[in-house]
Structure 1
Amino acid sequence: MTYCIGMRLERGLVFMADTRTSAGVDNFAVSKKMFSWQVNGERAITIMTAGNLATTQSLISLLEERSVSESERNPSILREPTMFQVARLVGATLREVIEDSSPTGQTSADHFGASILLGGQIKGGKPTIFMIYPEGNFIEITADTPFFQIGETKYGKPILVRAYDPKMDFADAIKLLLVSFDSTVKSNLSVGLPFDLQVYENESFETGRTKRICEDDEVYRTISTGWGNALRDAFQLLPSYKL
């Protein structure tokens, strides 16, 4: 399984993805699920993947291959004029991969399926994030839905809903995402460290600051322990319910 989050703030975008892949309870591996492209001063694009690993790797390989040189960028995510058009291209490419992988076409999408988070900014447009489904259709982030999750979403969502603030700075947003990821890791063995993190600042048109957060990261360990202690303390402060 997988856990990925794409979040939009007033200052920009924040992306985080785990790296665990599994083929059973005793067979774990690490695989990158976050990929980025940029054209300096013109566009920055980030993709995170969840689902069938063969499907997602084929998708990324196709997008990379079609973006290698100027003469071969047709179609390419480095030539599309808007993020909306990039989302359409990624959705069509995902559908192409699934249809090629399945002997019965799109009817086997469940077996070969994948979900994608696509985010970034192209000059002249606003920073945005799309969630792309296996069928190739997609939805865009809004003020009412300021973050998207794919993969194992249910354990980490409550803290996002309660604590998200579009005005928060990047440091607090990363802290919020780490709490969400930590809650998921403690609840599901198919999600695990290390986490890949990326921050995109509005109008920078660069993929921005990136980091791989490992188990020995001191800040992550402090957040993990502190959040657990804070929950226990808060529980004790709540009134008991007596019949």
Structure 2
Amino acid sequence: MSQSLITQELGIIIAAKNHNPTLLNSDFLKYSGIVPAEWELARQPISTQNVSQVAFTNGVMIVAEPTRVIFIEAIEGKVATEIIVADIAKKYVQTLPNVEYEAVGLNPRSYITFDRQQDAASQYLAKTLLSPGPWQEVGTAPVRATLNLVYTMDRCPFYLTVSEAALRNPDETSTPIVLFNGSFSYEVKSVTAPERLGNLHQIIDNWQADLAAYQEIINTKFLAKVPDNTTLVPNVFTMTASAVA
């Protein structure tokens, strides 16, 4: 049986020293050419000394803190050519080249749903990914688990958290899901600002290869034994634009 993920969002987290969160606002983003002038705000921006946040109606959100900048795009239903968060992140660091950027995390988040049984997600974690034993029999209810895994890849460490959650439906019911939060963690190894920017751009440009590796790991190593009541969905990164439509 072929399983694939509902890929919900892609995040790019850039660690930085002495970054000023108050710089982030919609005017700065538009006047600097980081985002197009026609983008509309999804809600009122947040701006404080410790955190600023700007969210747009197209699903892109930028959060600035003193030690990091976070770029997130909601990508469910999008094909790879429609995903723009990497370009936004590259334009941001190009606009602020003197910030001391230290590391980059390329973070996809996906989930699978279980429609038939409310306890199917927890059973998947407890019975498919974990070994049975008396340690699971403590207490008055089935054990609930979250897995934190670290893989050593050729280019960087890959962190994966597998956890149980739920989606709230319009009729106020909930659908059990298993979340897969991934993070490819890169160190920025440069001294001068031009070297740093070049290294950052090179890392961010890996996003499609990292997404492909992330999906391959989960689809082939984690979902091969998912029970038959798992909802099957198309893989948005291998579909054509016409298939999405």
TM-score by length of 1: 0.22
Bigger radius of gyration: 2
After TM superposition, the score normalised by the length of structure 2 is 0.22
* Greater per-residue helix proportion: 1
